[in-house]
Structure 1
Amino acid sequence: MNIALGTIPFGTTVGQQDTFAILDRFHEAGGTMLDTANNYPFWVEGRSGDESELAIGAWLAARGNRDEIFISTKAGARPTVPGDTTLDSAEGLSAPAVAKAAEGSLRRLGTDYIDVYWAHIEDRSVPFEETLGAFNELAQQGKVRSIGASNIATWRLERARNVSATRGWLPYTYVQMRHTYLRPRPLAQLPEMGHRLVTDELLDYLAAEPDLTLWAYNTLMFGAYTRPERPIHDVYDHPGTTRRLAVLREVAKELGATPNQVVLAWLMADGIVPIVGVSTMAQLDEAIGAADLKLDTELRARMDSAS
């Protein structure tokens, strides 16, 4: 199943019993990839950012299945000031910060290695050589197996990969950005701190770099495709959105699927790993249903051409 389970609410709004049930169901259905971070969900009052990793770690310990699970976690955006719900005091990506963050994540997850370790945000105050050297050191220690960059400009991703190639270091082979079927207005600004949208430039770059995999977050736009009380964000407020939504609904009806499932299938058809955050078993089962949904060439072309 080429879907990663987003785990932001695990251990908080989704309690331990429900967290375990969701993780059990996901794994039983063939899911292996879990996406978390060392700061989820720090922006909620009274939360430290430990909660998601701790919940996953408790489940891994209870099930004894660490080697069957692909763990994705992140460093760089954890507040250094207790109670700060912004990124103003983020730990950043200095070598000491990366090393400390990794130790914290390993401890909370109850594991001795991370499958893909991400730079959660850009930190332009730190040279790439320092950050990538710290990641490479973790890899040499066996604590990290691969690395990725989240919320990064395409030109900086290319520059970072060149730095690693020149020095023989572990390169970024994953990139994580906000992406969905709808296309934003050019130069649209998101209200969520730190979020970056996929651009045409990034998609073009990915097509030329076969070793680089895109993980997409906010794929279902907080439920806006199917829930009337969740309006579509105004960054998508343009005539093309109306046309793409019409095609999406047509395809969903033809396939006997939900719009959410078609969006996920459309992403996976391009080799993208969609991250799907769920808080209920019904949401999880809908996402699992997308794993077997296939879009033929005609349907993909129809969806792609709507603009």
Structure 2
Amino acid sequence: MEYTNLGRSGLAVSRLVLGTMNFGTQTSEADSHAIMDRAHDRGINFFDTANVYGTRPGEVPTEPIIGKWFASGSGRREKTVLATKVYIPTGSWPNEGRLSALNIRRACEASLKRLGTDYIDVYQMHHVDRTTPWEEIWEAFGVLRQQGKVLYFGSSNFAGWHLAQAQEAARSRHFLGLVSEQSMYNLMNRWVELEVLPAARHYGLGLIPWGPLNGGVLAGVLRKQKEGGAARGTSGHSAGALAKHHETITAYEKLCAGIGEDPAHVGLAWLLAQEGVTGPIIGPRTAAQLDSSLRALTIRLDGATLARLDELFPAPGPNGSKPAPEAYAW
């Protein structure tokens, strides 16, 4: 396993992040525990979850599944860099969502209880709160840090301007501020390159891509269809993306076959090659899928392959040939 620091912090994390959104939704508790055990066996120490995962009707909440795994002992908690989130409402009553000091306090206490731990390594804002002032947010976060309940703070789904607001407000209080930003980022969705990624680099935040394979569209969906296997990327929003970009995906899978690599592994390897990316979130539903993802760590895409990927999936902006944020310029 490869490790890197999370942004400008001294926290060492694996370059693949174990996403737990499937735990309790598509993956049973027993299988979820097996996946987490396998992750540790393979050196993955960075686990990402959220207080709202598995909370829809018919689902099993994710955080307690992780908490029961920690309770099994053998240093599981101590070996894990644990990240969870706050923002999305957990009920219909006022102050059960967003980033008021009241909800931050209550949500953190509830996550700690469900996770069976007395601290969270990285507490992430699941979305920007446009109604709560940064002074209130950082004061509430500062209390959690003073209490030893949270060590680092991160954001998710922020714009570049939001990152600047957050960091400048933290700087005025002499706080470390954010150490990471979690954004959708993949070959088919490169919008973060315009401002989010440059802002993250400037402020020393590690970027954690979610949706690295665009809902399975970049995971070899056309090849799997031909082989008669079930494949993600053929239903819902992914199906629309596949239909719209069928020719491009065909060319992408041909390129991957030409270099002898699985499309899913190439998609992850491309992200790992981007400056400022800490590591993409993988969401395996089985231990075998987790093992397969590790191949991305050993792939080194050459210049010609990277150039061809840029041709197939151009950088965004009116002048995408320039490095962001200058891509806006003419």
Which structure 1 segments of 5+ residues have no match? 83-87, 185-196
Counterpart among 199, 206, 211 of residue 200 in structure 2: 206
- Report the CA distance between 1:89 and its aligned residue: 8.2
Query: Is residue 262 of structure 2 the alignment partner of residue 258 of structure 1?
Result: yes
3-state SS in 1 of match to 2:97? coil
Partner in structure 2 of residue 56 of structure 1? 66
Partner in structure 2 of residue 30 of structure 1? 43
Does structure 1 conserve the Cα–Cα contact (< 8 Å) formed by 2:160 and 2:197? no
Counterpart among 269, 272, 280 of residue 268 in structure 1: 272
> Deviation per CA, 1:19-70, whole angstroms, max 9, x where unpaired?
111111111111111110011022x3244xx711111111122143211111
- Report the CA distance between 1:294 and its aligned residue: 2.0
Q: What is the TM-score when the length of structure 1 is the normalising length?
A: 0.84
- Report the CA distance between 1:170 and its aligned residue: 3.2
Matches within 5 A, 1:1-307: 1=1, 2-42=15-55, 44-47=56-59, 51-63=61-73, 64-81=75-92, 91-183=97-189, 198-209=192-203, 211-225=204-218, 226-227=220-221, 228=225, 230-231=233-234, 232=238, 234=240, 242-243=247-248, 245=249, 248-270=252-274, 271-272=276-277, 273-306=279-312, 307=314
Partner Cα separation in structure 2 for residue 12 and residue 131 of structure 1: 31
Partner in structure 1 of residue 7 of structure 2? none
3-state SS in 1 of match to 2:35? helix
1:74/1:155 CA distance change after superposition, 3 Å: same
Partner Cα separation in structure 2 for residue 259 and residue 176 of structure 1: 23
Does structure 2 conserve the Cα–Cα contact (< 8 Å) formed by 1:149 and 1:176? yes
- Report the CA distance between 1:4 and its aligned residue: 0.7
Q: In terms of mean alpha carbon deviation, does 284-293 or 164-173 score higher?
A: 284-293
Partner Cα separation in structure 2 for residue 138 and residue 8 of structure 1: 25
Percent of aligned positions that are identical: 35
Does structure 1 conserve the Cα–Cα contact (< 8 Å) formed by 2:95 and 2:102? no
Name the aligned partner's letter for residue 215 of structure 1: I
1:204/1:12 CA distance change after superposition, 3 Å: closer
Name the aligned partner's letter for residue 42 of structure 2: A
> Deviation per CA, 1:219-260, whole angstroms, max 9, x where unpaired?
122222223452345468767x844x3553244224422101
Which structure 2 segments of 5+ residues have no match? 2-14, 226-230, 315-330
- Report the CA distance between 1:297 and its aligned residue: 3.5
> Deviation per CA, 1:148-185, whole angstroms, max 9, x where unpaired?
1111222121011100001112301211111111137x
RMSD, aligned α-carbons: 2.4
Name the aligned partner's letter for residue 21 of structure 1: A
- Number of residue pairs matched by the alignment: 284
Partner Cα separation in structure 2 for residue 169 and residue 80 of structure 1: 31
3-state SS in 1 of match to 2:151? coil
3-state SS in 1 of match to 2:32? helix
Name the aligned partner's letter for residue 279 of structure 1: R
1:90/1:283 CA distance change after superposition, 3 Å: farther
3-state SS in 2 of match to 1:177? strand
Does structure 2 conserve the Cα–Cα contact (< 8 Å) formed by 1:38 and 1:78? no
Name the aligned partner's letter for residue 67 of structure 2: G
Q: In terms of mean alpha carbon deviation, does 6-15 or 158-167 score higher?
A: 6-15
- Report the CA distance between 1:94 and its aligned residue: 0.3
3-state SS in 2 of match to 1:68? coil
- Report the CA distance between 1:9 and its aligned residue: 2.1
